[in-house]
Copies of this chain bind each other. A is one copy, B any other.
Amino acid sequence: MRSINIAAGQLGPIARNETRTEVVARLSALMREAQSAGCDLIIYPELALTTFFPRWYMEDQAEIDCFFEREMPGPQTRPLFDLAGELGIGFCLGYAELALEDGRLHRYNSSILVDKSGRIVAKYRKVHLPGHAEHEPWRKFQHLEKRYFEPGAGFGVVDAFGGVIGMAICNDRRWSETYRVMGLQGVEVVLIGYNTPVHNPPAPEHDELSLFHNQLVMQAGAYQNGTWVVGVAKAGIEEGVDQIGGSCIIAPSGEVAAACTTRGDEIARACCDLDLCNSYKRTTFNFDVHRQPHAYRLIVERKGRHLMADGTAVPSA
């Protein structure tokens, strides 16, 4: 049996004035707990090193950049990498990435996969940035990911931990394309961290369905691609904003194999049998036999109902 013993390492809220060192201590405690439970890998949430700062409108770039990491590991995060190597456990960590590329600074909402020796083996940059780019004072709180980050290039997979691993972040999980693009590369475990407010200012009528939608999209993505999905929240009331928990590990059947039940620092774990994926990948979802790409062209030709992928208007019929 090929299997990975995985821990979903949910975090409770992180206050704005909490230091990286304090957060790393919390991450380290969860890592020790996961390792004691026999886990090979622990998944932390999106932007796991700080409070969820896109909830505030800020104009001072220096203030914004305080939430970003210029190197990974850096002085404050290295202890987590060292501990991973010492304990022999891998981790997946979300953080705000400040990268110098082509002589210019770029900012991404990123996650990395670190192996049991403490070495980074994959990096992912969030593709589906939710929210808005301009200050919208009518909202109780902002969601300025479109302002503070640029979107990543796409979804890859990596051979690690004896399986095929992919990453996605938060809003990515609501988009079926996320799972499919990785499914087409044979993904067996999709790792997803998130920060999801219970309240969605543009559509408050969805608030009571937040946990249902969270689970629905990950269950469908798992089943339709024959993959494990691990969803990990930063949960609880953070700087006055209530964020859902619902961290869980979902089997390729779409069934929930393990779930957190608090909204604080907590681990849920499952032994993920990677061969279960084949039960779906070789039957109902044998893509090589059953997919019909000739019928899917609109998915890449159009951005939406009104815009083509290149941003021009959809021609009227």
When the two chains form their complex, are residues B287 and A303 in contact, meaning their CB atoms are under 8 A apart? yes
Whether, in the assembled complex, A299 has its beta carbon less than 8 Å from a beta carbon of chain B, the answer is yes
User: Given A130-B290, A174-B284, A300-B300, is A295 in contact with B181 using a C-beta cutoff of 8 Å?
Assistant: yes
Given A290-B128, A299-B181; A176-B176 close (CB under 8 Å): yes
Q: Does A118 contact B (CB under 8 A)?
A: no
The answer, among B200, B294, B305, for a CB contact under 8 Å with A309, is B294
Residues of B within 8 A of A186 (CB): 305
24 contacts between A and B (CB under 8 A): A128-B290, A128-B291, A128-B292, A130-B290, A176-B180, A177-B295, A181-B299, A184-B304, A185-B305, A200-B283, A200-B284, A209-B255, A212-B254, A212-B255, A216-B216, A216-B254, A217-B220, A219-B220, A220-B220, A220-B224, A287-B305, A288-B303, A293-B301, A293-B309
A297 at the interface (CB under 8 A from B): yes
A177-B299, A180-B176, A254-B209 given as contacts; is B304 within 8 A of A291 (CB)? yes
For the complex with contacts A202-B282, A300-B300, 4 further pairs of A-B residues with Cβ separation under 8 Å are A130-B284, A202-B283, A291-B304, A293-B300
The verdict on A293 contacting B302 (CB below 8 Å), with A174-B224, A216-B220, A283-B203 known, is yes
Interface stretch (choices A33-41, A103-111, A148-156, A229-237) = A148-156
Chain B, residue nearest A182 (CB): B298
A108 → chain B closest CB, angstroms = 14
CB of A296 within 8 Å of the partner chain: yes
A306 contacts B by Cβ under 8 Å: yes
Inter-chain CA distance A216–B215, complex, in Å, is 10
Q: A195-235 interface mask toward B, CB cutoff 8 Å, 1 = contact, 0 = none?
A: 00000101101100100110011011001100000000000
Instruction: Check: A56 CB closer than 8 A to any chain B CB.
Output: no
6 cross-chain pairs, A with B, having the tightest CB-CB distances, nearest first: A287-B304, A288-B304, A220-B220, A176-B176, A293-B309, A154-B295
- Are A294 and B153 interface neighbours, CB within 8 A? yes
Bound CA span A202–B302, Å: 36
Query: Residue A279 at the B interface, CB < 8 A?
Result: yes
Asked whether A261 is an interface residue with its Cβ less than 8 Å from the other chain, the reply is no
A78 to chain B, nearest CB (A): 31
What's the Cα separation between A175 and B284 when bound, in Å? 10
A280 to B206, CA, bound (A): 9
